[in-house]
Amino acid sequence: MEELNSIKKINEAFTKRKDELYAQKDEGKKVFGLFCTFVPTELILAADAIPVGLCGGKEATIPSAEEILPRNICPLIKSSFGFKKEKSCPYFEASDVVLGETTCDGKKKMFEHMSEMVKLHVMQLPHFRDDRSKKMWLEEVEDLKKLIEEETGNEITEEKLKEAIDKVNNLRKLFYKIYELRANNPSPINGKDSLKLFQLAYLLDINTIESLLEEVVSELEERVKKGEGYSGKRILIAGCPMVAGNTKIPEIIEDAGAVVVGEESCTGTRQFENYVDGYTIEALSDRYFNISCACKFNNEERIDRLKELVKEQKADGVVYYTLQYCHTFNVEGTLIEKELKKSGIPIIRVETDYSESDKEQLKTRLEAFVEMI
């Protein structure tokens, strides 16, 4: 099926993003680099600054990272560190401040090395869901607000915060609409193109991606009306994020004749689910506190939501994807596999890295899984 015109435009916008970003810096705007969906981008936008995702989905920079970091930590951590070490990611180099978070021990300790190369602010992420943890997270968000105001010299007023919350909520609505459209059979967009939308949303200017996503929604609605799209066994991918450059798993799944109809990940539903309900710092903090990442302790909410996603997307099975040495998602994968099997939902767990060395093995396993369901 021919590529959507809107996706072609998104690709074109991406090729121009580096020059656009540096032009914005020349105008005096501050750039904040992000690793994770836990960082409230609304605060950055409310200070008239620019949030941008950071590189970390390529194998090429891992050997350089392994000169300092151990080999047996996840490829995303090593790839990210390698990009900064080699100064080969324009978004890292444009960042005035990099914002990290304590989602895992590997990333937390990597930040100690990265802080020698770039100004870094790390948010302490509570792993419990109780009231004390919620208060602690609110303090982290308030500290981030102060830091952003100091770095930019711009006050985050109530009016500016409201404007930013509305803008990001609207972006989430557009992503959610795309997700709902993918529930159709045939699905109007394949998993590879949908993943590209989520990946590039981290990199493009919010005004650019917002207008282009409106076009995507319009084109997908037209396809649904005509009954056009992608058919096959319907697969939901769950687990680790797939940042820009990392498309191995959806490619193998769809080459096997299936269609990916959803991603329960940071480059999927965790990115856009749940709106900020109100215009206060507390409301903003609550939205991010409730993200159902595997880093949370006693994570029944994530398991329940995954079952709901299978039903909503009419998925025939789940591919639970873990990056090698990502113990957080891997350990929780055991619990999820057990609970999904209890509910009669077919699931296969795959663990991989950024290399091509295991591609044939994964292809054989995933083809068999698709055929079995």
Q: Per the structure, how many domains does the chain have?
A: 1
Residues 267 and 255: their CA atoms lie apart, in Å, by 21
Q: For residue 219, give the H/E element and its range.
A: helix 206-226
Residues 81-128 have pLDDT tens digits of: 999 999 999 999 999 999 999 999 999 999 999 999 999 999 999 999
pLDDT band at 3 (very low <50, low <70, confident <90, very high): confident
Q: Would you give the DSSP letter of residue 83?
A: H
β-pair type (31-34, 50-53): parallel
**Residue 348 to residues 21, 97, 190, 252, 352: CA-CA distances in angstroms?**
40, 39, 20, 14, 13
The domain spanning residue 118 has which CATH number?
Answer: 3.40.50.11890
User: Mean pLDDT over residues 142-160, rounded?
Assistant: 98
Domain membership of residue 343 (yes or no) is: no
Q: What is the pLDDT of residue 2?
A: 86
Domain membership of residue 177 (yes or no) is: no
Residues 13 and 7: their CA atoms lie apart, in Å, by 10
Q: For residue 100, give the H/E element and its range.
A: strand 97-101
Q: Does residue 216 register a pLDDT over 90?
A: yes
Range of the domain at 125: 13-154
**Residue 329 to residues 139, 149, 265, 346, 349: CA-CA distances in angstroms?**
27, 34, 10, 18, 11
Its pTM stands at: 0.96
Domain membership of residue 329 (yes or no) is: no
